[in-house]
Structure 1
Amino acid sequence: MKTIKPLPEGVRHSMRSGTIMFDMARVVEELVFNSLDAGATKVSIFVGFFTCSIKVVDDGSGVSRDDLVLLGERYATSKFHEFSNEETASESFGFRGEAL
């Protein structure tokens, strides 16, 4: 399980925050990407259209109790430290800490 950390200040200032979720399909897509980035091999998606709710259950690495405090914080991610080269970067769907 990887630790969620805020992106370095220099990286945050160089980024444009432009992630906007227009519809439920985009939200589901981002949640599935998170599951896949966490190494999930099984992903179940439950969408409540009348309640505007989405639940994604997977067998990925999960989030530690300590990391819950940063979950959903802007520019906080568990993936940034992995990016030492382009090859590694292409193996992940996201790393900017914007979608959640």
Structure 2
Amino acid sequence: MNANKSGSVRSLGSDLAKVDAHKGEALEYDELPELTDDMLARATVNRGGRPRSASSKVLLSVRYSREVVDFFRATGEGWQSRMDGALKEYVAQHSRR
């Protein structure tokens, strides 16, 4: 994230205060099955994160003119991907065949 920009707060679409205030009752746990050794053996750890892309990208620092950045940013979320697409299109049109 850019140090000059504040992070945006994403809405989870839930009432976390209500969830935090909930006190679990013993009856709620009666419906849950007992964990067996077989269940635990089949368990997997989901580390989350972004899935690996088939086409990897290179992280680099580059400077563009203000007009170019403003143009793409004005197109909304996903502007960097659209900028990448425009550069790919340029490469395809100008590469030697």
- What's the TM-score bracket when you normalise by the shorter of the two chains? under 0.3
Greater strand share, 1 or 2? 1
TM-score (norm. length: structure 1): 0.21
Relative contact order: is structure 1 or structure 2 higher (C-alpha 8 Å, sep ≥ 6)?
A: 1
The structure with more radius of gyration:
2
Greater helix share, 1 or 2? 2
